[in-house]
Amino acid sequence: MLPSRMLFPLLSVVFALWVVGLSIFIILERRAPAATIGWIFALLLLPYVGIPVYFLVGPRKWDGKKRHLARTRALIGKELGAAVQAANARVSSSIPEDDARLVALGSGLGAAAAACAREIEIFQGGAEFYAALEEAIAGARHHIHLEFYIWSPDRIGTRLRDLLMKKVQEGVELRLLVDAVGSPKFDKDFMRPLQELGAEVLLFNKPKWFRLRSQLVNFRTHRKIVVIDGELSFIGGMNISERSSKEFVDDRAQRDTHLKIVGMPSNWLQLVFLENWHFSNGGGPSHEGYLALDTEPGTEPVQIVASGPDTEHAPIHKVYLEAIHGAKQRIWIVSPYFVPDVSLVSALQSAALRGVDVRVLVPAKNDQRLVRAASRTYYDELIDCGVRIFEYLPRMHHAKTLIADDDLCIIGTANLDNRSFRLNFEVIAVLYGLRHAAEMAAAFESDLLESREAAWGEEDDRPLPLRFGAAVARLLSPLL
């Protein structure tokens, strides 16, 4: 047995070797420079903390899973893309000329082709969204597919589960995919009644103790999507939780936005669901019988863009950048977790400096204190260039939206942070046209009435410990 006086030097040597080895590995991963420097900084200054934290949240290698998802995408995407092109000859004429570049970018990134919906409805609160969801489930004839980051076994979660049980008893196929980390209370006892009736219920990417590594925090499905009978779908920021609805928690309910789509674009959300289902199940249903390829075309263009650790080039990130760069009149953004990278900060600054009305709305009451601290450190450099930043006062604002000019808006699951753009599975819907942009702009302006505008230099007036904590949070922002 080693003498105690030799134990500390030996541990120091072991940790030093780990730090050097991990630093080389991190450099070879070719992350963004800020993230690489952040991790090496953490390993050098706090090795006893940095090493275990890196193994918990740091690794990003996912090659085997990438190949699995790529095979699934290739299996379904080719036929669906051809069908959409054949059914949507009117798409190009329905999209404003200024937005054609964004459509082309999305397609070039491997996202869905723009498709015309017959009906689009936007929900600005949980009560109306859940009511529409329950109505849609009740009307299902063939299948119901759901994928959520959070499904709470509370009053709304239980009510929806019981409605789904009724539909399974009627012969409707049900597949429910819930993130294993986002929904820790979604346990076997809660899902057993569904499974006993024949429903398929899976937990996405469940961490295993012998290869926990980054699975606990990274590579989560942050999506909130529903597809019913292939042609009716929902996408947006709301999870299944009574925290989202005034029906259960009155004025404390989170402010959020969700979207209902009827028609051809729902096929692309079906593809997004089936990809993750195939990955989680190692098989499952093929696309045959689950795509509504003969659905009647509509007149409202929508483009579905999905991204995750399995996709190259961070598609949602690039779509956001293109929307900001292409704006001529306004860019209005809502993001609950606003931790932009250098390219987004630069894009917002450039837009404001060329005369675009750039506004960012974030919650004053944030359920993630570290993210809020980091977010505030970006205020001055944005305000200095003319960006206006507002904090929503009444409650948590959980929506993830963007409005560009008068004819484009985005609703989805992605926050403006590195985790959403590169580490988690996310999806957004890009809506082209005047009507929905105007509707979203009216909701944004209504939210501003209950917000305060941040002023330049506010961060400097805060006590030193809070400013230091915020500065440390910003250093960690590439890792958040």
Show which residues are catalytic: 222, 224, 229, 398, 400, 405
| CA angle in degrees (0–180, nearest 5) for 250-253-257 | 130
Instruction: Report how far residue 437's alpha carbon sits from residue 415's, in angstroms, rounded to the nearest whole number.
Output: 19
Torsion of CA 473, 237, 95, 329, to 10 degrees: -40
Strands 173-179 and 143-148: parallel
Token output for 471: 């500065």
Locus of tokens 């193994």: 55
Give residues with Cβ within 8 angstroms of 149, minimum separation 6: 178, 179, 182, 183, 220, 221, 222, 223, 224, 239, 413
Ramachandran region, residue 12 (left: φ > 0; alpha: ψ -120 to 50; beta: rest): alpha
Name the amino acid, one letter, at 322.
E
Q: Give the sign of the dihedral formed by CA 158, CA 193, CA 201, CA 228.
A: negative
3-state helix, strand and coil shares in percent for the chain, rounded to the nearest 5: 50, 20, 30
- H or E, element range at 352: helix 342-353
Whether the CB-CB separation of 138 and 168 falls below 8 Å is answered with: no
Whether the CB-CB separation of 233 and 272 falls below 8 Å is answered with: no
Going by C-alpha positions, the residue among 273, 264, 187, 183 that lies closest to residue 225 is: 273
Name the amino acid, one letter, at 59.
P
DSSP state of 295: P
Residue 151 exposure: Cα atoms within 13 Å on the Cβ side: 26
Q: Give the sign of the dihedral formed by CA 178, CA 179, CA 184, CA 188.
A: positive
Torsion of CA 310, 316, 317, 318, to 10 degrees: 100
| CA angle in degrees (0–180, nearest 5) for 251-252-254 | 105
